[in-house]
Amino acid sequence: MSRGTADLRALPDLPNTADVCIVGGGQSGLAVAYHLQRLHRRTARRPTVVVLDGRAAPGGAWRDAWPSLTLFSPAGYSSLPGRLMPRPDGGSNPDAAHVVDYLTDYEHRYAIDVRRPVRVREVAADPSAAESWVVHTDHGTVRARTVVNATGTWDRPFWPAVRGIGDFRGRQLHTHDYRGPRDLDGDRVLVVGGGNSGAQVAADLVGSAVRVHWVTREPPRYLPDDVDGRVLFETATQAVRDRAAGREARGVASLGDIVAVPPVRAARDRGDLVAEPMVAALTPDGARWPDGSTAPLDAVVWATGFRPALAHLHGLGLQWRSGRPATVAPAGSPHAVRSADRRSLWFVGYGDWCGPASATLIGVGRPARDTAADIADHLGTAP
């Protein structure tokens, strides 16, 4: 085969039409596909469902996580609907590779039809049918009656506006591209961010031959050591109940920001994980703090989070609020998963705005279930 022609055998073929097109084949997309299957398991009127995923293999963003990334919840509290995550050997919290294996097994176990690698370029309204869509991809188009967005946030790292970021002559990388301490061996590194990623990367680095400055805007707030994903999920669930009952909801954020997973706890207890105040600016060779002190640096790791990867919707003229589309909760659901603008468009797995703890393995199940029910209601296939 000459270099110029694509190997047509390798191209994923796409259906011309589908009742449901799920964009994104990570945990969120799989959870919606599972619930659509489950909801229609006893009906003849099963909607056609296709999942389009930009990656070449299962596992979503977990495939790109750094090797030592540890789940903040034990396996039993990191499960998708219908399948308990097996405990890893040694019983500790699972790592990213364990999650990839679990999601790969899940996809095969439920025979979820994922076409990959397929990148959705744009979702546009179908001019030939009301409330329907034309999904444009790098391998052709799919006409769909409904679209579920489950594209996650990994593909949209957030870089904060820090003075001097453009002048710094050392390396800069976001946690999106961090792959472990070996790349930064012997460097003087600034780790920016007071959440789980910042703590885990700083703990990862202090254990190797680098000088680490971990800086946070506020003093880091560790969750109590006996708190892990279980408690986070239960707190998020209670918040949903309280909101639904009109009571004041105490969200997960009230508990703290950092789960003290074993590597973080060990570094903290050794006194190696000490946060410093956020820098005032980067300089060509380092950083300067508000008190005027400076430090030379070779690299900066931005553990500053992510934003929803929704560029494929930008042509739709949706209402946006604080960087994300406006959404509403379907009747009878506490999860605001449906677009406020379009009846046949949903959002799953992006975080509290579309369902408390929905951006976690255990938290995505309920919003996914309610999305499937709302889709069935819209398509008229509800059993």
**For residues 305 and 334, which CB has a smaller minimum distance to ligand FAD in the complex?**
305
Rounded to the nearest 10 degrees, the angle between the axes of helix 262-269 and helix 196-206 is: 60
Where does residue 17 rank: exposed (0-12), middle (13-18), buried (19+ CB within 10 A)? middle
Is residue 327 a contact residue for ligand FAD (CB under 6 A)?
Answer: no
Which of these segments, 14-22, 24-32, 80-88, 186-194, binds ligand FAD (CB under 6 A)?
24-32
Nearer CB in complex with ligand FAD: 54/286? 54
Element (H, E) at 277: strand 275-277
Piece of 69-77, 203-211, 267-275, 324-332 that binds ligand FAD (CB under 6 A): 69-77
Q: Which two tokens stand for residue 316?
A: 């739709």
Helix (H, G, I), strand (E, B) or coil at 92: coil
Of the listed pieces 4-12, 58-66, 211-219, 336-344, which binds ligand FAD according to CB under 6 A? 58-66
Environment class of 117 (CB within 10 Å of its CB; exposed 0-12, middle 13-18, buried 19+): middle
By CB under 6 A, tell whether 215 contacts ligand FAD. Answer: no
167 touches 284 (CB < 8 A): yes
Q: Which of residues 335-374 bind ligand FAD (CB under 6 A)?
A: 349, 359-361
What string marks each residue from 70 to 89 as x (binds ligand FAD by CB under 6 A) or -? -xxx----x-----------
Q: Minimal CA–CA distance to 229: which of 70, 69, 26, 78?
A: 78
Applying CB under 6 A, does 239 fall inside the site for ligand FAD? no
Burial of 321 (0-12, 13-18, 19+ CB in 10 A): exposed
The three-state secondary structure class of 26 is: coil
Task: Please answer whether residues 380 and 145 qualify as being in contact, where contact means their C-beta atoms are separated by less than 8 angstroms.
Answer: no
Find the binder of ligand FAD among 53, 228, 257, 374 (CB under 6 A).
Answer: 53
Q: How far apart are CA 17 and CA 301, in angstroms?
A: 43
If one asks whether residue 283 binds ligand FAD (CB under 6 A), the answer comes out as no
How many residues form the binding site for ligand FAD (CB under 6 A)? Answer: 36
Within 90-119, which residues bind ligand FAD (CB under 6 A)? 119
Contact call for residue 60 and ligand FAD (CB under 6 A): yes
Q: How far is the CB of 363 from ligand FAD (least distance, A)?
A: 7
Tell me how far apart the alpha carbons of residues 295 and 324 are, in angstroms, rounded to a whole number.
37
SS3 22: strand
**Which stretch in 50-58, 126-134, 186-194, 267-275 sits in contact with ligand FAD by CB under 6 A?**
50-58
Looking at the Cβ atoms of 103 and 162, the one nearer to ligand FAD is 103
Under rule CB under 6 A, residue 194 binds ligand FAD: no
Per CB under 6 A, the list member of 36, 85, 150, 264 interacting with ligand FAD is 150
Which of 18, 26, 142, 313 forms a contact with ligand FAD (CB under 6 A)? Answer: 26
Q: Which two tokens stand for residue 250?
A: 């105490």
Q: Which is nearer to ligand FAD, 25 or 194 (CB)?
A: 25
Per the structure block, which two tokens stand in for 281? 């600016």
* Shortest Cβ 365–ligand FAD spacing (Å): 11
Q: How many angstroms separate the CA atoms of 102 and 108, rounded? A: 10
Task: Find the shortest distance in angstroms from Cβ 247 to ligand FAD.
Answer: 26
**Where do runs of H (alpha helix) occur along the chain?**
27-39, 96-109, 196-206, 229-244, 262-269, 365-379
Contacts of 224 (CB under 8 A, 6+ apart): 255, 256
Identify the CA nearest to 80 among candidates 350, 371, 365.
365
Please say which residue, 190 or 310, places its beta carbon nearer to ligand FAD. 310
Q: Which of 151, 235, 283, 381 binds ligand FAD (CB under 6 A)?
A: 151
CB of 217 to ligand FAD, least distance (A): 18
* Least gap, CB of 331 to ligand FAD (angstroms): 24
Q: Report d(CA 199, CA 220) in Å as an integer.
A: 9
Within 286-315, the residues that bind ligand FAD by CB under 6 A are 309, 312
Sites of contact with ligand FAD (CB under 6 A): 23-29, 52-55, 60-62, 69, 71-73, 78, 119-120, 150-152, 154-155, 175, 196-197, 229, 309, 312, 349, 359-361
